[in-house]
Amino acid sequence: MNLVALKTLLAIIETGSLIKAAEQLNVTQSTVTARLQSLESHLGQKLVQRNKTGASLTASCIKLKRYAEVILELWRQAQAEAGLPPGMAGIYHMGCLPDLWPQYGQVMVDLVRLYKKQTALNSWPGLHQDMQGWLESGVVDIAISTSPFSLSQGFATDHLEEDLVLVGDRPDRPVRFDQGYIYVDHGADYAREHISEFSDADVARMSFGSALWAKDYLLANGGSCYLPTALIAEECKTKQLYLIKNAPRFTRRIYLAWHQNEPSSKPLISLSRQFLDEMKNRFEAHSVL
């Protein structure tokens, strides 16, 4: 059974005639007949009875009709999601931790848009364990996370280190014992260093597992918290947020993993290196904070 034969059957059902179906599909009547006979042979059932008035459907054809419609619709959806868009020479699939989208995922999208003009890009949000599996199974070609990837041969990994700085809605927020302090979970390494530095601090009333959520809360309600410099650079310039002086700084690692099977992965390797270089340049630009 093939999709063309199913499409031909639906045309026969819609028009009620093999001749009209041939006209609709812009093929000869003999082609329509051959496709119908192939489908009937495959199923072992007569599907259409031809008569003077056109074509009448058998019980088997009526049953098959709804499955044919579903199969063709699923194929159209699969083409839309997995197919290569017109004019594109290739396609990349990227997985990105949602919390890293503004500073990292969007940068990758911009690089593809500006420098890989014949390459399409599909972007998927996911947790670290999702992306680990996606890489191994080939669902994505490249992934960005805050945790290291443990992958088999055929993959490359690298990482960046970004500064986490204490910012607040006022420049006079205290470094320690701030009643409005918001704890942000930036990973296990940060948690250990934070506890070591602020061992005498109380548990924060508000805490978030997302830097994006913490930033939104901070802008709306005030307080202070540790956030990546790239995430708050614009707000510091516009004085919506202020860098708290004399506060200790921390770092967190951002991990990148990608396929590197030669020779088809050469453009992907180039894109990954370009991304790492772009992010390093941005970090240097934000180092003045």
Which domains does the chain possess? 3-80 (1.10.10.10)
160, 254 Cβ separation under 8 angstroms? yes
pLDDT of residue 288: 54
136, 152 Cβ separation under 8 angstroms? yes
pLDDT digit string (tens) for 81-115?
677 777 777 888 899 999 999 889 999 999 998 88
pLDDT of residue 11: 92
φ/ψ region of 31 (left if φ > 0, alpha if ψ in -120 to 50, else beta) reads: alpha
pLDDT digit string (tens) for 192-205?
999 999 988 888 99
pLDDT digit string (tens) for 210-245?
999 999 999 999 999 999 998 999 999 999 999 999
- Give the CA-trace dihedral at 110, 121, 73, 36, to 10 degrees: 130
- Give 3-state DSSP helix, strand, coil % of the chain, rounded to 5: 50, 20, 30
Backbone CA torsion sign across 240, 246, 247, 251: positive
pLDDT greater than 90 at residue 256: yes
132, 138 Cβ separation under 8 angstroms? no
Rounded to 5 degrees, φ, ψ at 31 are: -65, -45
Q: How far is CA 255 from the centre of its chain?
A: 16
List b or e across 147-181, with b for residues whose CB sees 16 or more CB atoms inside 10 angstroms: bebebeeebbbeebebbbbbbbbeeebeeeebebb
pLDDT digit string (tens) for 6-33?
999 999 999 998 999 999 999 999 999 9
Tell me, what DSSP letter sits at residue 181?
B
Question: Which segment of 46-60, 82-96, 154-168 scores lowest on mean pLDDT?
Answer: 82-96
Residue whose token pair is 């913490």: 214
258, 142 Cβ separation under 8 angstroms? yes
Token pair of 146 as six digits: 């805050």
Residue 178's nearest CA partner among 216, 208, 213, 222 is 222
133 contacts: CB under 8 Å, gap ≥ 6: 139
